[in-house]
């Protein structure tokens, strides 16, 4: 019961923050991408190695410049690593409770990629508050979150990666 109320309060705050968000093309950084932040679900983790390797090769950056955050379902008694988060890392009204999440959002990554399979309120909150210069994700109801939205009904990681690279080359960010 409380988790439903908490999620509802986060959604309400998210909608309010989204309306107050300023969208300005002038603020977009035009430099080449050197740091990447990736949002991924736990189920995608096994498929992520080839994706991370292809990103590293295409962008010609060291693996240390690729930062990964994985969303997991909360399980009581489980210790989570620095790159894992759960719904418990979010407070009421969409506040970011954990230090790792606050640091992730404050970093100015050149590129933020949301590989999420489905709509996820928590990913949307992170994406909205992120100071990343360029944001990419699958087409969703929240398209204003992204600078580049890729439409793929099956939400295939490779399709998103290939299309994103194609458009980033056109935009001379690669």
Q: What confidence score (pLDDT) does residue 37 get?
A: 95
- Confirm if 15 and 7 have CB atoms less than 8 A apart: no
Q: Report pLDDT digits (tens) over 90-107.
A: 888 778 888 888 899 999
Mean pLDDT on 131-145: 85
Give the DSSP letter of residue 108: -
Query: What's the pTM value of the predicted model, to 2 decimals?
Result: 0.84
CA dihedral over 4, 5, 10, 12, signed as positive or negative: positive
Confidence of residue 89 (pLDDT cuts 50, 70, 90): confident
Query: How far is 114 from 33, CA to CA, in rounded Å?
Result: 16
- Confirm if 156 and 150 have CB atoms less than 8 A apart: no
- Confirm if 121 and 10 have CB atoms less than 8 A apart: yes
Higher-pLDDT residue of 21 and 171 is: 171
Report percent pLDDT > 70 for the chain. Answer: 87
Q: Where are the domains of the chain?
A: 2-20+33-170
| Cβ partners under 8 Å of residue 86, min gap 6 | 71, 72, 73, 74, 80
Q: What confidence score (pLDDT) does residue 30 get?
A: 61
- Confirm if 104 and 83 have CB atoms less than 8 A apart: no
2-20+33-170: CATH topology is: Rossmann fold (3.40.50)
From residue 44, give the alpha-carbon distance in Å to each of 8, 72, 85, 109, 172. Answer: 26, 11, 14, 22, 29
Confidence of residue 44 (pLDDT cuts 50, 70, 90): confident
Over 60: is that where the pLDDT of 63 sits?
yes
Mean pLDDT on 38-60: 82
Tokens of 160: 């998103």
């Amino acid at each position: 019961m409380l988790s439903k109320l908490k999620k509802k309060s986060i959604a309400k705050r998210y909608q309010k923050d989204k309306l107050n968000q300023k969208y300005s093309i002038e603020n977009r950084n035009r430099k080449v991408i050197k740091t990447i932040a990736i949002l991924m679900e736990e189920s995608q983790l096994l498929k992520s190695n080839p994706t991370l390797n292809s990103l590293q090769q295409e962008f010609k950056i060291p693996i240390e410049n690729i930062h990964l955050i994985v969303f997991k379902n909360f399980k009581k008694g489980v210790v989570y690593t620095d790159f894992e988060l759960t719904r418990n890392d979010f407070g009421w009204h969409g506040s970011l409770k954990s230090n790792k999440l606050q640091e992730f959002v404050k970093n100015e990554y050149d590129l933020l990629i949301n590989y999420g399979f489905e709509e996820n309120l928590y990913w949307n909150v992170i994406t909205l508050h992120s100071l990343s210069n360029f944001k990419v994700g699958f087409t969703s109801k929240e398209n204003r979150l992204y600078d580049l939205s890729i439409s793929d009904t099956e939400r295939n990681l490779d399709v998103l990666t290939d299309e994103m690279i194609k458009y980033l080359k056109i935009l001379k960010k690669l």
